[in-house]
Amino acid sequence: MLPNHSETDRKKGSVRGRESRNRSLNTKLTATEFAAVERAAAANGCALGEWVRDVILQKLRGGSASDPSLAEILGVRLLLVNVLRPLAAGQRLTPEAFDKLLDEISEAKHQLAGKLATSAGRK
């Protein structure tokens, strides 16, 4: 009988073209800390080990730089500032100008989030 693809991949030390995960990290937590970690993993719909791995790797990558919520928050802030300023000055914002503003914000928000996360990491 021929082995299926997953059996073949495991024997070669890779899973679907990725390097195999064969190293472990351990730490000791208090009962309270462990319960908090379990709640956080459950809230994210992840298995405990998967959640811990994601948190560790996110921290290694610079934390917030890969967090899409930071870019979205910055996008909303940019939109508010750029829409409310002209309105407060009694100016009108045309639909075309608003659409152009949205396009500019969509392009800029991820770059700004990366810069913000990088500068926060240096402090």
Tell me the pTM.
Answer: 0.44
pLDDT one digit per residue (tens) for the chain, 123 residues: 444 444 444 455 555 667 888 888 899 999 999 999 999 999 989 899 999 998 888 888 765 445 678 888 999 999 999 999 989 999 999 999 999 999 999 888 888 887 777 666 555
Q: 81 near 101, Cβ under 8 Å? A: no
Task: Report which DSSP code applies to 24.
Answer: -
What is the chain's length? 123
Contact between residue 25 and residue 56 where contact means Cβ atoms under 8 Å apart: yes
For the record, the structure tokens of 85 come out as 């300023």
